[in-house]
């Protein structure tokens, strides 16, 4: 059952504030519905979220430290993995502290400004991760299909430029979407049917026209969800074709092992994205969006370090060197 709540404020006789408009009072805070429809699971959810968030922070920080302090890992693949771990930390940390606080309180309230800030950092990190996964697929393509030219194709300056372009492009794209979001008015109700501030439920709450926002979301979905995905698939198409030409089974297994971790992460992340966002705003489902949100803001940042370390002897060796207690 949808919860409807409207905030009524006493309007002073002084000139209206930025959050007021003629004959109407605008929302100055939102209520995150979270998982309030299942109060009996509150303790269980809090425990699970805290465990996953702690695991995500610990795993990604360990990867960052291992790559930073081990010269043997200063290669393009690990440079991009360093950036991926940083994005995972930003993504999950923009969501989980507020979600955990909401599970221990009767009502999870977030200010308008806090909601917009949360939305910015989440969108920036999540979109950057999608674009970076495509860059990492190209890196694997260069390593497997052009091994003799790999060092020249993926030079330090080129890799640094790719990473900077990912961060900058997604920051600008997110700023454009935030500018369009900030122009909208929210007159009430103010209950966001999610456990964090997300674009589709916010558009449904707006009392302004959201046509331009919807068009920009479709364009962003087309670029991040479809174009990026096709580029990644194309890279792996060339990789598979090249690997199948290897004559020995040992050679094929070694070639596949260098990209299996990345392919696992790509499949997991795109499954969540397609499940949540490749659908019109009008077809928004709160339950489906919450599940997808858990996948890419909590589960994916937690599993990524495990996927990349359990199958990677170099990372495990670097961690053992950095932290002796990993030896056992």
Q: Are strands 191-192 and 24-25 parallel, antiparallel or unpaired?
A: unpaired
Which run of H or E residues covers position 60?
Answer: helix 42-69
Q: Are strands 191-192 and 29-32 parallel, antiparallel or unpaired?
A: parallel
CA atoms within 13 A on the CB side of 6: 9
Whether residue 194 contacts residue 10, with contact meaning beta carbons closer than 8 Å, is answered with: no
Residue ranges of domains in the chain: 27-319
Whether residue 123 contacts residue 277, with contact meaning beta carbons closer than 8 Å, is answered with: no
Q: What distance in Å separates the CA atoms of residue 112 and residue 82, rounded to the nearest whole number?
A: 33
> Could you read off the pLDDT tens digit of each residue along the chain, which spans 328 residues?
333 333 333 333 333 344 444 445 677 899 998 887 778 888 999 999 999 999 999 999 999 999 999 998 999 999 999 999 999 999 999 999 999 998 988 788 999 999 999 999 999 999 999 999 999 999 999 988 898 999 999 999 999 999 999 999 999 999 999 999 999 999 878 999 889 998 888 998 999 899 999 899 889 888 887 888 899 999 988 988 888 887 777 777 777 777 778 888 888 888 777 776 655 555 567 777 888 888 888 998 998 888 887 767 888 888 888 877 656 5
Q: What distance in Å separates the CA atoms of residue 58 and residue 182, rounded to the nearest whole number?
A: 34
Task: Output Rg (C-alpha) for the chain, integer angstroms.
Answer: 22
Q: What distance in Å separates the CA atoms of residue 323 and residue 311, rounded to the nearest whole number?
A: 19
Residue 1: per-residue pLDDT: 36
β-bridge mates for residue 192, sequence order: 32
For the chain, how many residues are written? Answer: 328
- Cβ neighbors of 201 (< 8 A, separation 6 or more) are 192, 193, 194, 284, 286, 289
Residue 11: per-residue pLDDT: 34
- Cβ neighbors of 157 (< 8 A, separation 6 or more) are none
- 255-284 burial, b at 16+ Cβ within 10 Å, e below that, comes to beebbebbbebbebbbebbeebbeeebeeb
Residue 160: per-residue pLDDT: 96
Q: What's 27-319's CATH class?
A: mainly alpha
């Amino acid at each position: 059952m949808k919860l409807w709540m409207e905030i009524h404020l006493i309007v002073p006789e002084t000139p209206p504030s930025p959050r007021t408009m003629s004959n109407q009072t605008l929302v100055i805070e939102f209520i995150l519905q979270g998982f309030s429809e299942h109060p009996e699971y509150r303790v269980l959810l809090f425990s699970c979220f805290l465990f996953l968030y702690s695991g995500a922070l610990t795993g990604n920080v360990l990867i960052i430290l291992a790559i930073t302090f081990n010269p043997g890992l200063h290669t393009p693949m690990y440079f991009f993995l360093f950036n991926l771990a940083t994005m995972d930390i930003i993504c999950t940390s923009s969501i989980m502290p507020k979600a955990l606080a909401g599970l221990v309180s009767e009502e999870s309230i977030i200010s308008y400004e806090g909601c917009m800030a949360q939305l910015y950092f989440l969108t920036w990190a999540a979109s950057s991760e999608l674009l970076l996964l495509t860059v990492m697929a190209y890196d694997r393509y260069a390593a497997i299909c052009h091994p003799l030219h790999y060092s020249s194709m993926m030079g330090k300056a080129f890799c640094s430029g790719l990473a900077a372009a990912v961060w900058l492009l997604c920051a600008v794209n997110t700023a454009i979407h935030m500018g369009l979001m900030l122009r909208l008015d929210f007159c009430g109700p103010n209950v966001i049917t999610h456990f964090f501030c997300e674009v589709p439920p916010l558009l449904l709450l707006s009392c302004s026209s959201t046509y331009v926002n919807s068009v920009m979301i479709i364009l962003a979905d087309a670029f991040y969800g479809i174009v990026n995905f096709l580029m990644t698939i194309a890279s792996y198409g060339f990789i598979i074709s090249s690997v199948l030409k290897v004559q020995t089974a040992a050679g094929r297994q070694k070639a596949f092992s260098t990209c299996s971790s990345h392919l696992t992460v790509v499949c997991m992340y795109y499954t969540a994205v397609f499940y949540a966002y490749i659908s019109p705003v009008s077809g928004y489902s709160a339950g489906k969006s919450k599940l997808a949100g858990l996948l890419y803001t909590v589960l994916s940042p937690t599993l990524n370090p495990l996927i990349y370390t359990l199958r990677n002897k170099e990372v495990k060796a670097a961690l053992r060197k950095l932290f002796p207690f990993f030896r056992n």
